[in-house]
């Protein structure tokens, strides 16, 4: 993504999204470690963002589209993928370290760039970009081979994260289509409103269906855990806006790759705050993924 090819607004959007995304992943990991109920945690995040938008609209601070049946139908397929990806994200954070999630997500731009070309009218990635994406995949394979969970349990160790990868590829491609085809008076806040309003119910059902309701009484509701829940819910508002704002200004593949590259900050934060992280060799291969992503250039 060459800086000279992007407007100042796009660059600011990228920086804001990178900051929010990098911090949010680690905050979610800490929150779910303290409150191991990912469905409940994410449902509260969705409701917080939804209520914040409703209050902002009612007070005249935000210009937001009304909820209509026509737009709801258009958004429904994306919301299904979004809810599944967020729930799988939570399950991965519950059972694996942050680096495992980042490494698998690093493989998604290769598929998204091809889907960009096939369905969204982008040109096929140039040789430099393809080599960058292949470098990302090589780094991911290196990480998997030295991961202790893979050595102990084989492919079965990656059930949730593999499902997450499949869903995120569809979500990242379809989301770009949503921004460009659905007509909003306020594209960013309208997209945020529909995403969170429609996602809260399905996420709650996923949580209940996985037995989280019966586990609520078993959770140790500490002050620290509740504080992290509040923090991740507030940060969720920033993450939602920055994500849709960034999506609207760059390609789906570039957006996906940006989400991978900015996770370098997540890795550093994760290593600094506790010992629940990958080995030194695993982090090396993860850095190979992230450095490879630097050489990717957005296709016209």
Residues ≥6 apart with Cβ < 8 Å to 248: 179, 187, 188
Local confidence pLDDT in tens for the 300 residues of the chain: 444 456 777 788 888 888 888 888 889 989 999 999 999 999 999 999 999 999 999 999 999 999 999 888 888 888 888 899 899 988 888 887 777 777 787 777 777 777 878 777 777 778 888 888 888 888 878 887 786 665 545 555 578 888 888 888 887 777 656 656 778 888 889 989 999 999 999 999 999 998 998 899 899 899 999 999 999 999 999 999 998 888 777 776 677 667 666 766 677 776 676 665 567 787 788 788 777 876 776 666
Q: How far apart are CA 246 and CA 21, in angstroms?
A: 11
Q: Is 235 exposed, middle or buried (0-12, 13-18, 19+ CB in 10 A)?
A: middle
Taking a C-beta distance cutoff of 8 angstroms, is the pair 66, 189 a contact? Answer: no
Taking a C-beta distance cutoff of 8 angstroms, is the pair 203, 87 a contact? Answer: yes
pLDDT of residue 4: 42
Closest CA to 17 of 241, 271, 190: 241
φ, ψ of residue 262 to 5 degrees: the values are -70, -10
Q: pLDDT, tens digit, for every residue of 132-143?
A: 888 888 887 888
Taking a C-beta distance cutoff of 8 angstroms, is the pair 182, 70 a contact? Answer: no
Is the model's pTM score more than 0.85? no
Using the structure block, give the residue that is written with the tokens 């030194």: 280
Please report which helix (H) or strand (E) contains residue 175, including its range.
helix 159-181
pLDDT of residue 1: 45
How far from 289 is each of 133, 167, 294, CA to CA, in Å? Answer: 8, 20, 9
Using the structure block, give the residue that is written with the tokens 């920086």: 15
Token output for 242:
């920055």
Taking a C-beta distance cutoff of 8 angstroms, is the pair 89, 101 a contact? Answer: yes
Q: How far apart are CA 117 and CA 124, in angstroms?
A: 5
Q: What is the CB neighbour count within 10 angstroms for residue 182?
A: 17
């Amino acid at each position: 993504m060459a800086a000279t090819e992007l407007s100042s607004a796009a660059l600011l959007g990228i920086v804001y999204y990178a900051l929010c995304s990098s911090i949010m992943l680690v905050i979610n990991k800490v929150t779910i470690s303290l409150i191991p109920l990912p469905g409940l945690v994410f449902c509260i995040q969705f409701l917080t963002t939804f209520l914040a938008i409703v209050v902002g609209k009612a007070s005249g601070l935000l210009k937001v589209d009304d909820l209509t049946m026509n737009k709801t139908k258009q958004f429904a397929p994306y919301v299904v993928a979004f809810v599944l990806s967020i729930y799988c994200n939570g399950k991965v954070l519950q059972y694996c370290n942050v680096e495992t999630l980042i490494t698998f997500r690093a493989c998604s731009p290769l598929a998204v760039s091809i889907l960009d070309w096939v369905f969204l009218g982008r040109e096929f990635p140039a040789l430099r970009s393809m080599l960058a994406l292949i470098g990302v995949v090589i780094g991911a394979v290196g990480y998997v081979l030295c991961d202790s969970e893979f050595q102990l349990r084989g492919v079965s160790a990656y059930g949730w994260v593999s499902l997450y990868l499949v869903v995120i590829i569809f979500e990242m491609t379809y989301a770009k289509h949503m921004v460009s085809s659905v007509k909003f008076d306020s594209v960013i806040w309208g997209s945020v409103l529909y995403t969170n309003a429609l996602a809260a119910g399905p996420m709650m059902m996923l949580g209940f269906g996985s037995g989280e309701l019966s586990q609520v009484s078993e959770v140790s509701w500490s002050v620290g855990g509740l504080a992290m829940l509040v923090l991740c819910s507030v940060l969720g508002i920033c993450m939602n806006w920055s994500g849709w704002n960034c999506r609207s200004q760059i390609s789906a593949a570039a957006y996906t790759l940006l989400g991978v590259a900015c996770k370098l900050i997540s890795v550093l934060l994760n290593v600094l705050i506790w010992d629940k992280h990958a080995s030194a060799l695993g982090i090396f291969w993860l850095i190979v993924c992230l450095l490879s992503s630097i050489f990717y250039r957005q296709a016209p």
